[in-house]
């Protein structure tokens, strides 16, 4: 005799089922099937409200759930609430609507029974659902145990609290999402606060209270209130309105919420036996409150973490009493743990944070992006960040600078050529677009691309295909294009130097990088970041900045932007002995343009006045500056050659121009009148 496939009474008698079904015949049929198999049925509900009432009276082990129920709420709505309180459920439905099935899938059910069903279908789905749920619970418990061990190890590590808590923040981020994590620690009257702000997908930037004060534009420093009176007694969740109300008791939390537009929070408090207090605040921009399972996780971790913190605090107290708390190395004290975000783009200014948000939104798509900004603002780093956060990140990112290649080579570089296509083409060459197939191509300085090649690039964007020079067939290519320019392409279009149709194709999603002069609040962060990095590279200690350095850096206009700032810091690090605070030496502008020249008598007579450099205000001013510079340069070369234009050593050769071109420019610019010698051919 074949053994029954049905579960035995001993396996089922303690496993309680709730049926949520609004069709009486189906619900009754299910109850009979379950009763015969030995499953206790705690009740039948035909709506979400009745189901919740039954669950409040007696918690089921499994819920059999129809999708469409009486009332305004559906089984999917109930499923979301069941997920909050960790009750597994199995759908029973005849629905085949794709959008509904997608919504069902999101709720992560333990099974799905299709109507009409057989007894075997129900019992088999139940067995599988029970196994999946128990296996999932076991897996979650194992993960939770691993998290507990990792948190214990992180908090027990030697080193500063800042580094330990940063590791703790990174561990928590895998289980509890947050845009901002604030951890406050009070020992006697001293209150420390540690702030971790999410700036990328997995990157966290450490913000000091002073930096937050500057971002909030507060004139007077805020005062951190003692935690004892305002601290909750257990983990608590706040949605938007409740968080605003709680802010009346916690001004610092109110400040964070307002400055970073945070709408929901999850608080975990600790009070140690020695009187020390901790509070961990998870904060999110989403208005929805944190799920109940996040709060439940913290409640389960509360006691193990409390014991760990007790042990760590006791150990530190012993160290303080025996060694009187030796001062940390000056380098570690002053080290700013500012995390690199979006490929070394550091900052907290509003313009930069808005840019990060846009990058986060466009990165997962295949949309063409046009990155605009002045030289030295980090356009290539933004392009790399977009690629690294896209679905193409496992493929290659190919970079090509359109300004550094001769016009006759750009087409071959971009699209490749066949053997014998032109003089010197001794073998077939694969172009950058073929090389980037499946990945991303970054076209830097796209404004320098010759007009005839702009038409071919437009074809790539429109037709998704290329053709090698000398080739006879088109080659399909799957490439995402990111272009960058420091030119105003709209002006270039008006001047006829850039195709309008290509501009609109490239500018599907334009990103504008703010210049450093518009990010004054980022300059101290950038300066310290570069100083730390370059000091490590030079194998020196970074002892902070000398007086007035940061104010001098912040007051400068930075025509060369971040690249110029890094160069200044690198010069300062090279000249620094590693034992004293970093100094710029001479005034900033002198150091940039003539770092090694001794002061001249003229400089001494002008009482330290420096030549000023200002960016052109508009295109006509820029053109006028270019004309003046070109005229002065040609005039200097002609005076150097005694007016000789042609022949070896002549001005045309030195300027790398045709003699006829140089003669035309001499006449057009009125140079002939100001020459001390008359221009001659030889």
Per-residue pLDDT, averaged over 20-46, amounts to: 89
* Whole-prediction pTM: 0.40
321 — pLDDT class (breaks 50, 70, 90): low
Domain finish residue from 326, 358, 386: 326
Output the six-digit token pair for 224: 């951190």
- Nearest residue to 399 via CA among 481, 460, 477, 455: 481
Asked if residue 660 is part of any domain, the answer here is yes
Q: What percent of the chain has pLDDT over 90?
A: 6
Output the six-digit token pair for 627: 């004309």
**Lowest-pLDDT range, 169-173, 369-373, 522-526?**
169-173
Asked if residue 682 is part of any domain, the answer here is no
Asked if residue 98 is part of any domain, the answer here is yes
Output the six-digit token pair for 221: 């420093």
Measured CA to CA in angstroms, residue 341 lies from 344, 386, 526, 532 at distances of: 6, 12, 12, 16
CATH number at residue 119: 3.40.50.2300
CA distance 232 to 226: 13
- Please say if the pLDDT value at position 495 is more than 50: yes
Q: What is the pLDDT of residue 223?
A: 67
Q: What is the pLDDT of residues 464-480, one digit of tens each?
A: 888 888 877 778 889 99
Same domain, 487 and 524: no
Q: What is the pLDDT of residues 238-287, one digit of tens each?
A: 777 777 777 777 888 888 888 888 888 888 888 887 778 888 888 888 88
Same domain, 430 and 574: no
Same domain, 547 and 420: no
Domain finish residue from 575, 605, 635: 605
Asked if residue 599 is part of any domain, the answer here is yes
Place of tokens 């999917």: 76
- Please say if the pLDDT value at position 676 is more than 70: no
CA distance 469 to 411: 8
319 — pLDDT class (breaks 50, 70, 90): low
Output the six-digit token pair for 184: 């406050």
CA distance 202 to 407: 41
How many structural domains does the chain have? 5
Same domain, 624 and 584: no
Asked if residue 336 is part of any domain, the answer here is no
Same domain, 284 and 220: yes
Asked if residue 335 is part of any domain, the answer here is no
Asked if residue 345 is part of any domain, the answer here is no
CA distance 409 to 432: 12
- Please say if the pLDDT value at position 215 is more than 80: yes
CATH number at residue 435: 3.40.50.300
CATH number at residue 563: 1.10.8.60
Same domain, 110 and 179: no
Same domain, 127 and 73: yes
Same domain, 182 and 272: yes
CA distance 458 to 501: 8
Residue 472 CB coordination number (10 Å): 7
601 vs 280 pLDDT, higher one: 280
- Domain range for 451 is 350-513
Q: What is the pLDDT of residue 187?
A: 75
Same domain, 365 and 509: yes
Q: What is the pLDDT of residue 443?
A: 92
Q: What is the largest CA-CA distance in the chain?
A: 120
Asked if residue 4 is part of any domain, the answer here is no
Q: What is the pLDDT of residues 78-134, one digit of tens each?
A: 888 888 788 899 999 887 788 888 888 888 888 888 888 888 888 988 888 888 877
Same domain, 369 and 398: yes
- Please say if the pLDDT value at position 332 is more than 80: no
E strand or H helix at 172: helix 161-172
Count Cα atoms within 13 angstroms, Cβ side, for 429.
19
Same domain, 87 and 34: yes
Q: What is the pLDDT of residues 53-76, one digit of tens each?
A: 998 888 898 999 988 888 888 888
Q: What is the pLDDT of residues 559-585, one digit of tens each?
A: 888 888 888 888 888 888 888 888 876
- Nearest residue to 297 via CA among 270, 319, 266, 274: 266
Q: What angle do CA 630, 631, 637 make, to 5 degrees?
A: 90
Domain finish residue from 470, 493, 513: 513
Residue 188 CB coordination number (10 Å): 9
Same domain, 543 and 397: no
Per-residue pLDDT, averaged over 22-33, amounts to: 89
Q: What is the pLDDT of residues 403-457, one digit of tens each?
A: 887 777 888 888 888 877 777 667 777 788 888 888 999 999 999 888 888 888 8
């Amino acid at each position: 005799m074949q053994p029954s496939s049905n579960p035995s009474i001993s396996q089922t008698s303690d496993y309680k089922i709730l049926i949520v079904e609004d069709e009486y015949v189906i619900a009754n049929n299910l109850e009979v099937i379950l009763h015969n198999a030995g499953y206790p049925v705690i009740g039948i509900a035909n709506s979400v409200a009745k189901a919740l009432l039954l669950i409040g009276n007696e918690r089921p082990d499994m819920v059999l759930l129809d999708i469409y129920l009486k009332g305004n709420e559906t089984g999917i709505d109930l499923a979301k609430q069941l997920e909050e309180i960790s009750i597994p459920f199995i759908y029973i439905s005849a629905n085949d609507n794709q959008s509904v099935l997608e919504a069902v899938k999101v709720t992560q059910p333990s099974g799905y029974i299709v109507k009409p069903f057989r007894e075997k279908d129900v019992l088999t789905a139940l067995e599988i659902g029970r196994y999946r749920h128990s296996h999932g619970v076991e897996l979650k418990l194992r993960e939770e145990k691993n998290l507990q061990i990792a948190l214990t190890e992180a908090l027990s590590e030697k080193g500063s609290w800042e580094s330990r808590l940063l590791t703790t923040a990174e561990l928590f981020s895998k289980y509890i999402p947050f845009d901002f994590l604030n951890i406050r620690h009070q020992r006697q009257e001293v209150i420390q606060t540690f702030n971790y702000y999410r700036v990328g997908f997995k990157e966290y930037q450490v913000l000091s209270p002073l930096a937050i004060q500057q971002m909030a534009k507060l004139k007077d420093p805020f005062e951190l209130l003692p935690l004892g009176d305002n601290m909750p007694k257990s983990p608590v969740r706040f949605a938007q309105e409740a968080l605003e109300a709680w802010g009346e008791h916690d001004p610092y939390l109110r400040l964070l919420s307002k400055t970073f537009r945070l709408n929901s929070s999850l608080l975990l408090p600790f009070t140690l036996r020695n009187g020390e207090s901790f509070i961990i605040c998870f904060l999110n921009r989403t208005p929805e409150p944190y799920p109940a399972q996040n709060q439940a996780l913290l409640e389960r971790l509360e006691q193990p973490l409390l014991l760990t913190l007790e042990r760590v605090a006791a150990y530190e107290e012993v160290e303080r009493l025996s060694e009187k708390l030796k001062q940390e190395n000056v380098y570690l004290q002053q080290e700013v743990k500012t995390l690199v975000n979006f490929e070394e783009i550091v900052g907290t200014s509003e313009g930069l944070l808005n840019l990060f948000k846009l990058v986060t939104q466009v990165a997962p798509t295949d949309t063409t992006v046009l990155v605009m900004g002045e030289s030295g603002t980090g356009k290539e780093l933004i392009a790399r960040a977009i690629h690294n956060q896209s679905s193409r990140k496992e493929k290659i990112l190919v970079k090509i600078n359109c300004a550094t290649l001769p016009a006759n080579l750009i087409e071959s570089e971009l699209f490749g050529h066949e053997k014998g296509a032109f003089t010197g083409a001794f073998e077939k060459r694969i172009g950058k677009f073929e090389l980037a197939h499946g990945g991303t191509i970054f076209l830097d300085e796209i404004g320098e691309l010759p007009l005839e090649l702009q038409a071919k690039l437009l074809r790539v964007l429109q037709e998704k295909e290329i053709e090698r020079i000398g080739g006879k067939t088109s080659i399909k290519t799957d490439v995402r294009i990111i272009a960058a320019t420091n030119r105003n392409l709209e002006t270039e279009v008006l001047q006829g130097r850039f195709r309008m149709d290509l501009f609109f194709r490239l500018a599907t999603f334009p990103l504008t990088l703010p210049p450093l002069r518009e990010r004054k609040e980022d300059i101290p962060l950038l300066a310290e970041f570069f100083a730390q990095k370059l000091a490590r590279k030079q194998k020196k200690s970074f002892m902070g900045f000398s007086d007035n350095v940061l104010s001098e850096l912040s007051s400068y206009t930075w025509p060369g932007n971040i690249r110029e700032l890094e160069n200044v810091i690198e010069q300062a690090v090279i000249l620094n002995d590693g034992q004293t605070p970093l100094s710029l030496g001479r005034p900033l502008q002198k150091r940039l343009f003539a770092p090694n020249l001794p002061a001249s008598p003229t400089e001494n007579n002008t009482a330290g006045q420096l030549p000023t450099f200002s960016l052109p205000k508009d295109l006509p001013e820029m053109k006028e500056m270019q004309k003046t510079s070109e005229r002065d340069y040609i005039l200097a070369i002609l005076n150097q050659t005694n007016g000789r234009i042609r022949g070896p050593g002549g001005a045309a050769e030195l300027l790398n121009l045709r003699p006829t071109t140089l003669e035309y420019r001499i006449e057009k610019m009125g140079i002939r009148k100001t020459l001390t010698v008359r221009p001659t051919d030889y």
